[in-house]
């Protein structure tokens, strides 16, 4: 994000000098490294270890996922219009506890499905988007959970393909009761700021 934490605020002032120096090195490395990118859904599972790369098969899978995403988008859009939120008929591998449609135009839309919390406190979240610009130069999209319209925490970052479509699987460990909405924003690395694009209430 746009600001780095203050090391003194993080660790206080009562560390031994040697330990302080050691932790400060890690602090600097974390800032230098930046956040690891979200893993695309296509890479969620390891490849079959035959030592062969079957790229065409994977590309067919990707095409299938795009098609599936479009179907899911259409299904959810219809469900949303019919007031059928909460019912999950998608073929994805988790049952949606909540579904939100961000945006009102079919030309630019994001559908966020939030699954049930697991025994470790993690919730799967699947984001399918269509009609977004492919971002370059280190820019990316960020999905936020909001409260009173204000972005509070990030759910993850992603980009889209040339066709403006992608589906990514995220995981959040948040208490949903603490939020009332979702926001998709575009982050500009050059300007170091987010520009909100799409919103939705989380009911």
Partner 1 sequence: MSFALSLRSGLPVVPRLATIQVVAEPMTNGAMTDGELIARVGDGDANAFELLYRRYSRPVFALALRRLGDRGRAEDAVQETFASIWRSAGSYRRDRGPGAPWLYAVARNAIVDRRRTLGAPPAELAEEASDEAGPDERAEASWTAWRVHRALAELPEQERRLIELAYWGGLSQSEIAEFLDIPLGTVKTRTRSALSRLADALEGELS
Which H/E stretch holds residue 11?
helix 7-11
Least distance to partner 1, CB of residue 113, Å:
21
**Ranges of H-type helices in 48-94:** 55-81
108 within 8 A of 153, measured Cβ to Cβ: no
Q: Does 56 bind partner 1 (CB under 8 A)?
A: no
Least distance to partner 1, CB of residue 71, Å:
21
**Distance in angstroms (rounded) separating the CA atoms of residues 143 and 185:** 6
Per the structure block, which two tokens stand in for 84?
């059928």
Which position among 11, 77, 176, 202 is part of the footprint of partner 1 (CB under 8 A)?
11
Least distance to partner 1, CB of residue 111, Å:
20
Which position among 35, 64, 86, 106 is part of the footprint of partner 1 (CB under 8 A)?
35
**Distance in angstroms (rounded) separating the CA atoms of residues 80 and 103:** 12
**Distance in angstroms (rounded) separating the CA atoms of residues 169 and 167:** 7
Residues that bind partner 1 (CB under 8 A): 1-5, 9-12, 14-15, 19, 22-23, 25-27, 29-37, 39-40, 42-43, 46-47, 49-53, 55, 58, 120-122, 136, 138, 144, 150-154, 159, 161, 173, 175, 178, 185, 189, 191-196
């Amino acid at each position: 994000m746009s600001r780095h934490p203050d090391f003194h605020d993080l660790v206080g002032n009562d560390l031994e000098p040697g330990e302080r120096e050691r932790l400060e090195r890690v602090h600097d490395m974390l800032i230098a490294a930046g956040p690891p990118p979200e893993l695309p859904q296509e890479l969620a599972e390891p490849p079959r270890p035959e030592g062969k790369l079957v790229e065409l098969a994977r590309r067919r899978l990707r095409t299938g996922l795009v098609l599936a995403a479009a179907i899911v988008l259409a299904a959810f859009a219809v469900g949303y219009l019919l007031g059928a939120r909460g019912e999950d008929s998608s073929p994805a591998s988790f049952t949606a506890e909540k579904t939100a449609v961000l945006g009102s135009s079919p030309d630019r839309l994001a559908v966020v499905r939030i699954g049930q919390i697991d025994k470790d406190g993690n919730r799967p979240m699947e984001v399918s988007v269509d009609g977004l610009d492919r971002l370059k130069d280190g820019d990316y999209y960020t999905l936020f959970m909001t409260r009173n319209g204000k972005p509070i925490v990030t759910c993850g970052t992603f980009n889209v393909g040339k066709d403006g479509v992608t589906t990514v699987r995220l995981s959040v460990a948040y208490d949903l009761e603490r939020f009332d909405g979702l926001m998709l924003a575009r982050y500009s690395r050059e300007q170091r700021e987010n520009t909100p694009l799409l919103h939705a209430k989380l009911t």
